[in-house]
Structure 1
């Protein structure tokens, strides 16, 4: 037993010395590494995205390194719990621009950047021979309840934690819309694949197969659960 105790103590001392000398595990094996939005996603991506909501400075730094075009905006407090914290005015992911700039929380912006870089661009190039130039949407922030004015809980839109994406414009000028193309080839398979892969970067993703209210858009919400319908 004493031998095991000494061995454990030696291991701890060696590990502490190595860390003190500046060594860190490679990125793909280090859960505490600063998230690189451009790096190929791995088994720790969702955990790193989860951490961003609790580390606003790290989130902004990750967005800056990614090449996204954005501006930090002051926190907003509105009646009934509406408003946002750690918001940014997002203009582009660094590759595709948003149809119009919109305020989203920093973690939501980070998820959008990863979706574009690792899903939309390669998938569109493979399916259509053209990347995505524009992400079309109908906004993020909206001070409302989940089901309107029926007394239900606040929507994630009421805190700028979700965005409703309606489609994509390709660099060749073609438009792909959720409402028109969900069940039409070849755009339909692209849209369904984009929604499925989005689950790796968002807490909730809802689309046309969820209910009639989402027939024309993807509801993409920041978070770590990965609940997709």
Structure 2
């Protein structure tokens, strides 16, 4: 009987607890002052952030100018260039294209074609007359073949311009002492035909900087302010060119660099 009475008491307590529990909520039932019951679904709806509807294409298009003005898509370059600027750029590209030789925009000049030598051993096939190389002017338009023009460009980019980059605003032009000429080596009568007579050589006697300063090979080779740069250019030519001669080679080259593209089995000849 005692056990039966205990079970009845537990059932009665559970019944009362169930009757007093709020419906659909884990929070207390309404208070006596009439405060409304907040159900769990209502709480979730109240706490959830409002998600805006996806904008239409028209709305996006209308907002684009505002976004651009706010700088979200700010660029270091203008989105659209003016017609004047674009026209000038096209004209420059067209000028470079028309002036390019040897298939390289960095080598500017004109195609000459075949040059027939005055004597046996002279002459150039597919000669070009080069005026500027990598933006550096030649004091005299130089006749040569494309192999020599390409070697000159490599040397200009890798040696001449870097060597003088920190002087007087950089390299502006070079003094050409000789290019194509049907003659013997070192201008000696009866000597073997020079590489100049085959369009494979160029002699450079000096360099002009952007501020007007001129550096001559003759005077600058042993000058404290220019010796290092001149030696750097002389040494770096060995490779792009097959023969490199300078002031210390012999008496014929005291005042200029001689570069040519003759190749030897033993490698480049540089003095």
TM-score normalised per structure 1: 0.69
Gaps of 5+ in 1: 1-60
Quick check: 1:163–1:220 contact (8 Å CA) kept in 2? Answer: yes
Shift in alpha-carbon separation, 1:62–1:137, aligned structure 2, 3 A: closer
- Structure 1 segment 124-143 matched on structure 2, within 5 A: 124-126=164-166, 128=167, 130-143=169-182
Quick check: 2:123–2:199 contact (8 Å CA) kept in 1? Answer: yes
- Structure 1 segment 12-161 matched on structure 2, within 5 A: 63-78=102-117, 79-126=119-166, 128=167, 130-161=169-200
Which of 191, 201, 207 is equivalent to 1:162? 201
What are the Cα deviations for residues 139-167 of structure 1, in whole angstroms up to 9, with x where unaligned?
Answer: 21111111434422111011111111001
Q: Secondary structure at the match of 1:81?
A: coil
Shift in alpha-carbon separation, 1:147–1:93, aligned structure 2, 3 A: closer
Q: Secondary structure at the match of 1:192?
A: helix
Counterpart-to-counterpart distance in 1, 2:207 and 2:173? 6
Quick check: 1:95–1:117 contact (8 Å CA) kept in 2? Answer: no
**Structure 1 residue 182 and structure 2 residue 221: aligned?**
yes
1:216 deviates by 0.3
Which residue number in structure 1 is paired with residue 210 of structure 2?
171
Q: Secondary structure at the match of 2:113?
A: coil
Which residue number in structure 2 is paired with residue 210 of structure 1?
249
Counterpart-to-counterpart distance in 2, 1:160 and 1:167? 21
Counterpart-to-counterpart distance in 2, 1:227 and 1:104? 20
1:66 deviates by 4.3
Quick check: 2:175–2:207 contact (8 Å CA) kept in 1? Answer: yes
Shift in alpha-carbon separation, 1:124–1:217, aligned structure 2, 3 A: same
TM-score normalised per structure 2: 0.58
Q: CA RMSD in A?
A: 1.8
Structure 1 runs of 4+ with >3 Å offset:
61-66, 147-150
Counterpart-to-counterpart distance in 2, 1:94 and 1:194? 16
1:86 deviates by 2.1
Which residue number in structure 2 is paired with residue 7 of structure 1?
none
Q: Secondary structure at the match of 1:115?
A: helix
Counterpart-to-counterpart distance in 2, 1:105 and 1:199? 19
Report 1 or 2 for greater relative contact order, CA contacts < 8 Å, sequence distance ≥ 6.
Answer: 1
Quick check: 1:144–1:154 contact (8 Å CA) kept in 2? Answer: yes
1:120 deviates by 1.2
Counterpart-to-counterpart distance in 1, 2:229 and 2:102? 26
Counterpart-to-counterpart distance in 1, 2:164 and 2:184? 34
What are the Cα deviations for residues 105-151 of structure 1, in whole angstroms up to 9, with x where unaligned?
Answer: 1111111111111111111114x252110011112111111143442
The count of residues paired between Structure 1 and Structure 2 equals 168
Gaps of 5+ in 2: 1-99
